[in-house]
Amino acid sequence: MRDFLSLLEERNQLKRITDPVDPSIELAAISDRVLGMGGPALLFENVKGSKIPVAINLMGTLERVVWSMGLESPEELEDLGRKLALLQQPKPPKGLKDFRAFGSVLWDLMMARPDIDLTPPCQQQIIREKDLNLYELPLIRPWPKDAGGIITLGLVITKDPETKIPNIGVYRLQCQSAKTMTVHWLSVRGGARHLRKAAELGKKLEIAIAIGVHPLVVMAAATPIPVQLSEWLFAGLYAGEGIRLTRCKTIDLQVPSHSEIVLEGTITPGEELEDGPFGDHMGFYGSVEKSPLIRFQCITHKKDPIFLTTFSGRPPKEEAMLAIALNRIYTPVLRQQIPEIVDFFLPMEALSYKVAIISIDKAYPGQAKRAAMAFWSALPQFTYTKFVIVVDSSINVRDPRQVVWVISSQVDPQRDLFILENTPFDSLDFASENIGLGGRLAIDATRKIGPEKRHEWGEPLFRSKELEEKIDTKMEELGLSDFQTNEPDPSLFGYVIESLLSKKLMKNS
């Protein structure tokens, strides 16, 4: 993380704040204003109640997310996605080009294997259970009615009690006492699966929280990968070299050796406390829920550690910027699983996962419904997508004007809406009649063909590419070219970012 902070400072994308700032409400409110303006990452060096500085907004722009992955331009994200697609569903090479691509990925995998650090910086200072006090950490409280101080960007590390394969996730943790926290994770997440297995075996679940890691490791933890693979390997793929790990002092788990702070503890199955309410990514306060209780017995950290954090709420937020980058990385993975999908987009304004717009090369009746069903089951991240809008490949999924037009002109609600009832759902989505159980809606906004229609459809208005180029020249001759714009409404922040990125990608290809 410190390397990344140095990079941001070199590029004038880091602001150090030396004035005293309260971690309750004030710190997040200031950060929210700065992020909303597209401002720099912030390092609060004088946080009230703690000796530890706080870093926030490190990934508050798409540009900084790209830099965190060792890339210089957003166009490179899909190249990374193609590597992941090969790993998700490897296919036998059919020619020399395929052999080279597959061989390249295998070499990258070899280089990405984790390495062991015998002198880890994260263990320069060791605090045992009797001296452990979580209140000395600069735990932020982002919203006025939040229940308490939280950890938001810590890697939550557990291990399958049977296979010993680790899972690394990013979940919210609420401080409950000087030595305990609750962890809020959904039942489908890896940590929750490991806890259920531990309960069946009558064992405690060991858990480690690594705070202040390099942002690309956070990205790896957020990437959908096969259950049998480790996020450490994917972090190595992102980094181009293996992540250096070290074994915890009191439990049998490995953590990144460059972590600023590491918390080591255990969960006793069935031991829970009330967690929440907290402001969440839906833009509302979540409900109070019983959540697993972690009892910590050790903290290790670097000398003079830095606490990395973030906060949730209505976009734009850091998590939305991560989602834009992941959207690009997912695209080749999704195309490999569902070949008819040309492109897809998860609008930031729809929380980066509640609405998906997918375009297809339509070839047969009913294909839009098939594509929507396939999308919902393609990756774990799409399990909680509430609305899927399917459009033809001629529609730019990142232009809300085109999407709204095609829904208005090509959808008949009594024919083109498809609802799945009572499916597993996001427990944070209180719009559902039953928490954790809700419906999904697919909208077929494609042009209807064959038995899908009972009369001839109108012919779409169209100008040839040659004519458009001729008009471009004429506009310049008439002095009217300065008035041309094809950008979406700038108030739609996420759409603007994605539209610009899409045009760069299209131009390069």
What are the Cα distances from residue 406, in Å, to 267, 394, 410, 443, 492? Answer: 51, 10, 6, 11, 18
Domain membership flag for residue 230: yes
Domain membership flag for residue 333: no
Q: Which ranges constitute the DSSP H helices of 11-167? A: 26-36, 62-68, 77-88, 96-112
pLDDT for the residue 485:
54
Say whether pLDDT at 377 is over 90. Answer: no
Catalytic residue among 32, 146, 280, 444: 280
- 318-342, pLDDT tens digit by residue? 888 888 888 787 788 788 778 889 9
In this structure, are 66 and 194 located in the same domain? yes
In this structure, are 300 and 352 located in the same domain? no
CATH of the domain at 49: 2.30.110.10
In this structure, are 295 and 409 located in the same domain? no
462: exposed, middle or buried (C-beta count within 10 Å: 0-12, 13-18, 19+)? exposed
In this structure, are 299 and 373 located in the same domain? no
pLDDT for the residue 509:
40
Domain membership flag for residue 315: no
In this structure, are 240 and 148 located in the same domain? yes
Say whether pLDDT at 317 is over 90. Answer: no
In this structure, are 252 and 342 located in the same domain? no
Of 251 and 69, the structure prediction assigns the larger pLDDT to 251
User: What are the helix and strand counts (H, E) for the chain?
Assistant: 14, 21
Place of tokens 């937020």: 317
Residue 508's pLDDT band (cuts 50, 70, 90): very low
Domain membership flag for residue 330: no
pLDDT for the residue 102:
59
Q: Which of 62-71, 218-227, 488-497 has the lowest mean pLDDT?
A: 488-497
Range of the domain at 468: 338-508
Q: Select from 291, 308, 325 the last residue of a domain.
A: 308
Domain count, the chain: 2
- 89-115, pLDDT tens digit by residue? 555 556 666 656 656 666 677 777 888
In this structure, are 144 and 73 located in the same domain? yes
In this structure, are 345 and 474 located in the same domain? yes
Q: Which of 251, 164, 271 is nearest to 207 (CA)?
A: 251
Residue 277: φ, ψ to 5°: -80, 160
Integer Cα distance of 368 and 338 in angstroms: 12
Domain membership flag for residue 320: no
In this structure, are 372 and 467 located in the same domain? yes
Integer Cα distance of 371 and 47 in angstroms: 50
Say whether pLDDT at 152 is over 90. Answer: yes
Rounded mean pLDDT, 299-326: 90
Say whether pLDDT at 234 is over 80. Answer: no
Integer Cα distance of 191 and 171 in angstroms: 10
Q: Which of 205-219, 421-435, 440-454 has the lowest mean pLDDT?
A: 421-435
- 467-497, pLDDT tens digit by residue? 988 988 988 888 887 765 554 454 455 665 5
In this structure, are 203 and 57 located in the same domain? yes
pLDDT for the residue 458:
83
Q: Select from 308, 328, 353 the last residue of a domain.
A: 308
Rounded mean pLDDT, 197-205: 96
pTM of the model: 0.80
Domain membership flag for residue 360: yes
280 catalytic? Reply is yes
Of 385 and 91, the structure prediction assigns the larger pLDDT to 385
- 247-294, pLDDT tens digit by residue? 999 999 999 999 999 999 999 999 999 999 999 888 889 889 999 999
pLDDT for the residue 255:
97
Domain membership flag for residue 447: yes
Three-class SS state of 170: strand
Say whether pLDDT at 174 is over 90. Answer: yes
Residue 226's pLDDT band (cuts 50, 70, 90): low
The average confidence (pLDDT) of the chain is 87
CATH of the domain at 395: 3.40.1670.10
Rounded mean pLDDT, 137-160: 96
Say whether pLDDT at 56 is over 60. Answer: yes
In this structure, are 258 and 406 located in the same domain? no
In this structure, are 271 and 350 located in the same domain? no
Domain membership flag for residue 176: yes
Q: Select from 308, 325, 357 the last residue of a domain.
A: 308
